[in-house]
Amino acid sequence: MILGYFTFRNKLYIIAMSEVWLGFSALLDHVTDFTAEHGYNDSSYLRIEPKANGKDLIDALVSHKGLNAFASKSPTTDKIQRVHAITPILQSERVGILAGAKWGEKLREQVKNFPKATHDDIVDCIEIAVREELTNNSFIY
């Protein structure tokens, strides 16, 4: 699962999505093509889960493709707790998706049906992006 997004004024905007299951070499090529297609530049970066082939993918993207890639933080709670923690951000409409995107309905359905959906890869990626981009544990409420 790949999400392309940017942040602006404390909001996260999802502009691209790719849901693929590929072997390592094909995945490396797919990620490279995805970044080129969606406006990757020198200030862009790739955040990758450091499980399965994640660490090898990071190494290959950095050393062979010259992309800015690093490991996302490993979670400390289960997925349901993590999504519950970002629910106020989602409810306050601080996450938007590209209008008219052909993948938009699939994203909405998976979020709507979490945690009972068969797949939750999209929700997992959104949770990581929101947690690492929009949360700041230094706020005092």
Half-sphere exposure at residue 96, Cβ-oriented, CA atoms within 13 angstroms: 11
Residue 76 CA to residue 73 CA, distance in Å, equals: 9
Closest-CA residue to 12 (of 138, 139, 129, 137): 129
Would you say the pTM of this structure is higher than 0.85? yes
In sequence order, the 6+-apart residues with CB closer than 8 A to the CB of 60 are 28
Residue 59 CA to residue 61 CA, distance in Å, equals: 6
pLDDT recorded at residue 136: 66
pLDDT recorded at residue 99: 94
Report, as ranges of residue numbers, the positions in the chain whose pLDDT lies below 50. Answer: 138-141
pLDDT recorded at residue 141: 40
pLDDT recorded at residue 66: 96
pLDDT recorded at residue 139: 44
Task: Give the start-to-end residue ranges of the domains of the chain.
Answer: 1-141
pLDDT recorded at residue 138: 43
